[in-house]
Structure formats: C-alpha cells, structure tokens
Chain A
Amino acid sequence: MSALLPLLLVGAALLALRARCDVYAAFVAGAEESLRTLAGMLPPLAAILTMTALLQESGALPALLSRLSPALGALGIPEAAAPALLLRPLSGSAALAQAREAIARCGVDSRAARLSCVVCGASETVFFTGSLYFGAARVRDTRYAIPAALIGYAAGAAAAVLLV
C-alpha cells in the first residue's frame, strides 16, 4: 500500500517523459492550481466551522442530542450510537469524538460502537462538503442539495442499523 503513491508519481513522470513533456513544470503548475483551490476553500470553511463551533459550544447541539437520542432508541438505534449518527452530517470531528465515546462506554465490539464506526466510515460531512463545493463555486442558491444529500445519508444510516 505504501508503494502506491511513489509508484504513481514515477509512472506519471515516465508517461510524461515519453510524451516529451517538462515533468517539473507540469508538477509545479498542478501544485499551483491545487493550492489556489485550497485558498478558495478557506473562507467558506471558516464560515461553516465557526457556526458549527458556535452550536456546539453554546450547548444548543448537546441539548438537541439529549432530546433526540431517546426517540432514536425507539427505532432500534442504541442510545450510545445516536449522537454519532445525528452529528455525522454536521461535523466530522464531533461525530468521530462520539464514536470514540461509544467505544469507551460500551466496548469496541458492542453494537453501539460498531454502528457508530460504520456510519462514520460510510458517509461524508454533508454541510461541510456543501459549504466547500458551493462556497468555492460562488453558488448562492443550492436548491435541493442539502435535502437530497440528507435523504441519502438517512437511507445509508438506516441500512447500517439493519446490518449491524
């Protein structure tokens, strides 16, 4: 596995040399484009991460979670796994922290911990990716992007609840 990236670059360089290209200039041009993209990502990231931190630190999210977790228990979701499932679309780091918490509280091979890990590994942070992609592209009207992504997430999470 660790040979993958070195071999990828060596292979790319060999192909480029065969096509008589300047490998160094191509690498620099690609890196520049990528870093420009990253610079464009920073402002929308700052906006969404600031709002996520606000909801977390003000106690609004924890309060919401403690209300919703028992309700999810009625759907067959262990209460210890509910926070990770609810936080996943909003904040990757918060969901990961909840998965760690479930592992610490219930044991790594418990259903709650396994379910948290499956859901964390099977999905992306919807709001983060949304602000990143649409923010960097200067799209103001995202139409049904968030609802559709959340429907997909909920379906995937439901499948995980049935499987784990």
Chain B
Amino acid sequence: MRVNAVFCGMLFFGVAFAAATGRMDAAQRALLGGGAQAVELCLSLAGAYAFFGGVLGVLREAGVCDALARRLRGPLSRLMRFSPGEEAALTDVSVNLAANLLGMGGAATPAGVAAMRKMAGATGGRASEAMLLFFVVNTTSVQLLPASMIALRAQAGAASPADIVPATLISTAVSTLMGALACRAFEARARRRR
C-alpha cells in the first residue's frame, strides 16, 4: 500500500463529504488547524524527548546500549530477519523495544524512528520484512502498565481503577502475536508471487 494513496483517499473523501453536506467552512478550519495540532504535539513532546535523548546519549557513551544490543543480537536477528545492512539499526531496535515495555514513550519513539531510518537507508524507498515486523510490533505492543487509562478510570471514580490491567495485557499480547503472524503470511505470499 502506498502512503500517497491513503493520503489522497482521505483528502478526496473528506472534501467530497464536506461538499455534499454543506460543511466546507468546517473542512477549511480543519485543514488550517491540523498542522497547528502537529506543531503543538511536537512542542509538548520536545522537553521529554530532549531528556530521554540525553539519557540515551550518556548510556551510549557508557557502553550500555551496545551491551544491550549485543545481548539481543542473536534472538532479534532470528525474529526480525534483517536484510543485509539493516543490522546497523540493532541498537536502536533494542532500545525501542526495552523502552516500550517500560512505558517510556519519550524514549521509545525517537529510537523507533531512528531504527526505521537506518533500515530504510539500507533498503531504499520500499518497506523491508524487518521494517514491517518492527512497525507492527510497535503498533500492537504497548507498555506493561496502561497508566493513562488507569488514571482516567481513577479520575472518573471507578471502584478498582487498575482492574482492567489483565484484560489489557492479554489483548495486547493477542494483537502482537496476530500482527506478527499476519506479517509472516503476507511475506510468504509476496515470496510465492516473485
């Protein structure tokens, strides 16, 4: 699937719907305001990113990141099926997965983006098997503790705010497993066609 097609599909459908229902003024507001949302989001993230980036920089200098990557090299290479050249992203992939598990989104996302960039540098403008699996694992697995949802339920006066944790963990595990299996199935189909 092409990002271009998704973008154009959303654009044409949205504008056509607004035209048909007489909501062009709302559509115009949305188009002008969407970019501002992105800027606000990035600004609100910048402080945490600078902090986590700094911590990671210190950990890297101290050799901790390389040690983590060395430990995970064997199991990760088997799971991810890196193409030649993509192993340069191994440190960032390890940091991303570790930070995700611990719920440190401020550290996970920059590492994830850096990992994708390094893998893309090795494969050109097309997503590779390792990049796709890495993306799907990132979209389906989240922190061990869904802190923001627990906070939301506590604020609303739930009897036991954290009792959604077991169901959340099982749901996350099922989604990661099925997402990874879907990747394997799509990849096998692509190979058969070639």
Contacts and interface: CB of A to CB of B under 8 A. Distances in A.
B32 to A, nearest CB: 9
A71 interface: no
B85 interface: no
A52 B139 CA distance: 18
A109 B46 contact: no
Would you call the interface of chain B mostly helix, strand, loop, or mixed? helix
A26 B57 contact: yes
B162 to A, nearest CB: 11
A63 to B, nearest CB: 7
B156 A103 contact: yes
B39 A37 contact: no
Given A50-B34, A155-B175, A57 B29 contact: yes
B25 to A, nearest CB: 9
A151 B50 contact: no
Which of B21, B55, B148 has the largest number of chain A CB atoms within 10 A?
Answer: B55
Given A58-B27, A121-B148, A122-B168, A37 B113 contact: yes
Contacts of A81: none
B57 A27 contact: yes
Given A137-B119, A163-B170, A145 B136 contact: yes
Given A51-B10, A123-B139, A139 B175 contact: no
Contacts of B180: 152
B182 to A, nearest CB: 4
B61 A21 contact: yes
A144 B153 contact: no
A10 to B, nearest CB: 10
A141 B2 contact: yes
A136 B116 contact: yes
7 residue pairs, one from A and one from B, having the closest CB atoms: A30-B57, A34-B53, A152-B179, A156-B175, A50-B34, A121-B146, A155-B178
